[in-house]
Amino acid sequence: MAVRRRAPDDSVSLWTRRPESVRTVQEIFPECRVSSNLEDATRDAAVVVLCTSPESIQSIGRRLPDLLPSEAVVTDAGSIKCGIVECLDGAFAGRFVGAHPMAGSEQSGLTAAHSDLFENAVCILTPTGKSLPRAVATVRDFWRMAGCRTVEMSPEDHDRAIATVSHLPHATAAALMNAASASGADVPALAGGGFRDTTRIAAGSPGMWTEILAGNAANISTSIDSLISGLQELQAALRAGDHRAISTFLEDASAARQKLRHKS
């Protein structure tokens, strides 16, 4: 949708896994070529974008080098990068450049699509020493065209940073929701805006997020340790009635969060 709106002269070809989805997708995108045959969908492609779960990106990506024109550049939208980049870096001889557009919500599927999804979203690109400069430039241009601000880092730095700013929040929202369910409180009757916001992303697709969390397990586990030690620090201050320590903990968080608010 973003490409159709922002680059209306480019021709767009869509591949969908299930043959029974072709008609629905075609109705939504009457000007695009739609197919459930990977070879049909990718023939003549200049840029291929793999938008599915991390495991499927790898398995589909491995089939592509035999199908694509030899000049085609490939990128993806997976939210973990080490495994994907390791798998596809060599397979495309430098023509694959990993990307993680940080857009989307707890919703998934075609009904959640809208053409300004990427507007002002950060897209992290993870080129490596193997990436062809031409491919990096093409992929950077592609995501900027879609509306993103791009930043670049190694796949390892990406996975470590994202464990903190994306995967840990998801794990935390889920754990908070489960703790509330276990508490016996009438959560639906009592939840206000704070609870709703803090747990919103917990509604996201469990299948997708299982893959994501499992694919970045070591980094997330380290992040969880850091969160738990913060919670234990606050808990100790609460048990001791140490108002000054509670206040310092909350002041640090409030100051950091307010800095965030003024950005973007």
Instruction: Map the footprint of a copy of itself across residues 28-87, applying CB under 8 A.
Output: none
Distance CA 157, CA 164 (A): 11
Question: If binding is defined by CB under 8 A, does position 213 make contact with a copy of itself?
Answer: yes
Q: Which is nearer to a copy of itself, 133 or 182 (CB)?
A: 182
Question: If binding is defined by CB under 8 A, does position 160 make contact with a copy of itself?
Answer: yes
Query: What region does 74 belong to: left with phi over 0, alpha with psi -120 to 50, or beta?
Result: beta
What minimum distance in Å lies between the beta carbon of 180 and a copy of itself?
A: 5
- Residue 78 amino acid letter: G
Site for a copy of itself in 81-120 (CB under 8 A): 102-106
Q: Which is nearer to a copy of itself, 43 or 200 (CB)?
A: 200
Structure tokens at 203: 């509604």
What minimum distance in Å lies between the beta carbon of 79 and a copy of itself?
A: 10
Structure tokens at 13: 């070809």
Torsion angle, CA of 94/95/97/98, rounded to 10 degrees?
A: -100
Stretch in the footprint of a copy of itself (CB under 8 A) among 40-48, 56-64, 88-96, 174-182: 174-182
Task: Give the pairing type, strands 122-126 and 149-152.
Answer: parallel
Site for a copy of itself in 227-246 (CB under 8 A): 227-228, 230-232, 234-235, 238-239, 241, 243, 246
Task: Give the pairing type, strands 149-152 and 96-101.
Answer: unpaired
Bridge partners of 50?
Answer: 76
73 neighbors 46 (Cβ within 8 angstroms): yes
Stretch in the footprint of a copy of itself (CB under 8 A) among 33-41, 62-70, 84-92, 165-173: 165-173
What minimum distance in Å lies between the beta carbon of 184 and a copy of itself?
A: 8
